[in-house]
Amino acid sequence: MQQEAMEKRGFPRIPVTLTAHCRIGNRYVKDAVADLSEGGLYLKTREPAREGTPVRVALALPFGDGPKYCTLVGSVARVDRDSRGLLRGLGVSFTSELPTDDRVALTGFLKKR
């Protein structure tokens, strides 16, 4: 399954330690982002969601001259559970229509990694 998910990704995921303010469906949570790419992220959360659920993630990306804030919009692409069936996190795929400023902040952050 993990290999299959890797093959579907169009961008390499970069490990990060960031906190995100998220809206998953109609619920609001604050959780950790474990990895990030131009195409998506992995959110370490126990907030239940189904594949296809809309997700909005607000991040402060650290830069040398201070944080750049961006809002990333997408949907749940994968629900990650452990061997006992407990939710570990959500794979989120971004929509291609990210606003230019958010896309520029994200790509600039990832290129420095």
pTM over 0.85, yes/no? yes
Architecture per CATH, domain 2-111, reads as: Beta Barrel (2.40)
Alpha helical stretches, state H, 1-113: 2-8, 100-111
User: How do residues 83-109 score in pLDDT, each as one tens digit?
Assistant: 999 999 999 999 878 899 999 999 999
Three-state secondary structure string covering the chain: CHHHHHHHCCCCCEEEEEEEEEEECCEEEEEEEEEECCCEEEEECCCCCCCCCEEEEEEEECCCCCCEEEEEEEEEEEEEECCCCCEEEEEEEECCCCCHHHHHHHHHHHHCC
Q: How far apart are the first and last CA of the chain?
A: 27
User: How do residues 46-82 score in pLDDT, each as one tens digit?
Assistant: 999 999 999 999 999 999 999 999 999 999 999 999 9
Specify whether the CB–CB gap between 55 and 24 falls below 8 A: yes
